[in-house]
C-alpha cells in the first residue's frame, strides 16, 4: 500500500481494522488542556529544531498547535512573522483571497477587509461566529487545508475561540453510525449558493461533501459551516439525520474541545480544524482588536 492509501485507509468505511487501529492511536494520550498545545518560540524567524519538532508533533496528534513569542519579537509585523513561521513548517501555498491584503493576510478587525464589499461580512465585525472550517465555499481543487492566526492586539472584551479537531468529530460520528460518514462524504450533500454583487455572480455555487480524503496525501479534510443562511443541504432523510447528528455533537464537542483567547504575541497553527469565535468589543475611540489570518491550500506536513 502506498503512502497515500495508507493514510486514507482509516477513513474508508470498508477498512474497519485500519480505522480502529488509527482511532486507538489517535485517542491515546490526546492532550487534555489547551495549555498542552502551547509552544514557546524564542525567535519566530529562526525556529529551533526542538520548537519545530514540538509543533509538528502537536499537529500530527491534534491538527493544531498554539505558539507564543516574546514581546520583543511580537512587535514584528504579522505580514512577516506569520508566513515565516508557517514556511519553516513546510506550509507555503498562501491563499491570496479578496479580503486579504497584498501580503495574503486578512486583518480580522472591524473595517479590516482589504475589499470594501466584504466590510459587513461576519469575520470583519464584532459579532460571534459559530462552528465552521475556513473556506467551505472554495472550489474542490482549492480547499483551505491550513489556517493560522496571529494576535497583535486582543479585544478589550471577548474574542475567544473554541477549537475541535475535525478528526475527533469524524470519530464521534462514525462510532455513532458509519452511515452518517457515508452520507457526509457524498459529493452533492452541501451547497453554498453563489455570491452576488451588483446583480452579477461574483462566485459561483459550490457543491461538495463535508468529509473528503485528499487524493494526494490521503488526509481527512472537512468543510462545514453551522450557519443556517447561505447554505443548502440536500433535501432527503439521510442527509437530515447525518447533519442533525453532527450539529448535536457540536453542541457538546467532547472529548478534547478547547476554548481560549489569543493574547498579544500568540498564534494558532492548524490544519483548518473546526472553530468558533466569540463576540468581542472595543471601546469606541480606543485601540482596536488586531488579529491576522493566513489561509493555505496546503497543510502542516506530518508522517
18 confidence band (pLDDT: 50, 70, 90) = very high
Find cell 480606543 and name the residue: 286
pLDDT higher than threshold 70 for residue 12: yes
190 confidence band (pLDDT: 50, 70, 90) = very high
User: Could you report the per-residue pLDDT of 199-237, keeping only the tens digit for each?
Assistant: 899 999 999 999 999 999 999 999 999 988 889 999 999
Whole-model pTM?
0.95
Average pLDDT over residues 76-100: 90
Average pLDDT over residues 138-147: 95
- Which pLDDT value is given to residue 1? 45
Q: How far is CA 202 from the centre of its chain?
A: 24
User: Could you report the per-residue pLDDT of 39-65, keeping only the tens digit for each?
Assistant: 999 999 999 999 999 999 999 999 999
2 confidence band (pLDDT: 50, 70, 90) = low
From start to end of 93-210, where are the E strands?
106-107, 129-132, 146-153, 157-158, 161-164, 190-192, 195-197, 200-203, 206-208
73 confidence band (pLDDT: 50, 70, 90) = low
User: Could you report the per-residue pLDDT of 223-279, keeping only the tens digit for each?
Assistant: 999 988 889 999 999 999 999 999 999 999 988 999 999 999 999 999 999 999 999
pLDDT higher than threshold 50 for residue 22: yes
- Which pLDDT value is given to residue 20? 97
- Which pLDDT value is given to residue 42? 94
Average pLDDT over residues 144-153: 96
Residue 293 and residue 106 in contact, taking contact as beta carbons nearer than 8 Å: yes
pLDDT higher than threshold 60 for residue 143: yes
pLDDT higher than threshold 80 for residue 82: yes
Phi and psi for 302 in degrees, rounded to 5? -130, 160
Helices (H), 186-229: none
Q: Which domains does the chain possess? A: 3-296 (3.60.130.10)
Amino acid at each position: 500500500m502506498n503512502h497515500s492509501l495508507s493514510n486514507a485507509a482509516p477513513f474508508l468505511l470498508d477498512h474497519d481494522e485500519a480505522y480502529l487501529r488509527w482511532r486507538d492511536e489517535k485517542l491515546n494520550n490526546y492532550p487534555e488542556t489547551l495549555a498542552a498545545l502551547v509552544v514557546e518560540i524564542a525567535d519566530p524567524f529562526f525556529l529551533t529544531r526542538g520548537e519545530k519538532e514540538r509543533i509538528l508533533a502537536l499537529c500530527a496528534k491534534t491538527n493544531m498547535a498554539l505558539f507564543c513569542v516574546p514581546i520583543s519579537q511580537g512587535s514584528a509585523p504579522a505580514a512577516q512573522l506569520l508566513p515565516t513561521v508557517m514556511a519553516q513548517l513546510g506550509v507555503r501555498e498562501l491563499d491570496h483571497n479578496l479580503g486579504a491584503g497584498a501580503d495574503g493576510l486578512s486583518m480580522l478587525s472591524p473595517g479590516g477587509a482589504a475589499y470594501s464589499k466584504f466590510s459587513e461580512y461576519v469575520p470583519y465585525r464584532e459579532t460571534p461566529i459559530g462552528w465552521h472550517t475556513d473556506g467551505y465555499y472554495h472550489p474542490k481543487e482549492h480547499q483551505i487545508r491550513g489556517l493560522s492566526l496571529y494576535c497583535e492586539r486582543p479585544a478589550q472584551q471577548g474574542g475567544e475561540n473554541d477549537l475541535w479537531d475535525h478528526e475527533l468529530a469524524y470519530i464521534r460520528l462514525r462510532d455513532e453510525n458509519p452511515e452518517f460518514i457515508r452520507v457526509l462524504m457524498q459529493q452533492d450533500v452541501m451547497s453554498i449558493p453563489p455570491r452576488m454583487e451588483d446583480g452579477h455572480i461574483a462566485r459561483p455555487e459550490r457543491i461538495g461533501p463535508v468529509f473528503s480524503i485528499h487524493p494526494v496525501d490521503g488526509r481527512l479534510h472537512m468543510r462545514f459551516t453551522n450557519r443556517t443562511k447561505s447554505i443548502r443541504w440536500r433535501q432527503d432523510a439521510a442527509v437530515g439525520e447525518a447533519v442533525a447528528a453532527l450539529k448535536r455533537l457540536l453542541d457538546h464537542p467532547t472529548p478534547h474541545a478547547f476554548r481560549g483567547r489569543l493574547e498579544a504575541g500568540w498564534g494558532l497553527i492548524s490544519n483548518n480544524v473546526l472553530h468558533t469565535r466569540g463576540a468581542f468589543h472595543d471601546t469606541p475611540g480606543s485601540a482596536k482588536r488586531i488579529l491576522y489570518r493566513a489561509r493555505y491550500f496546503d497543510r502542516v506536513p506530518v508522517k
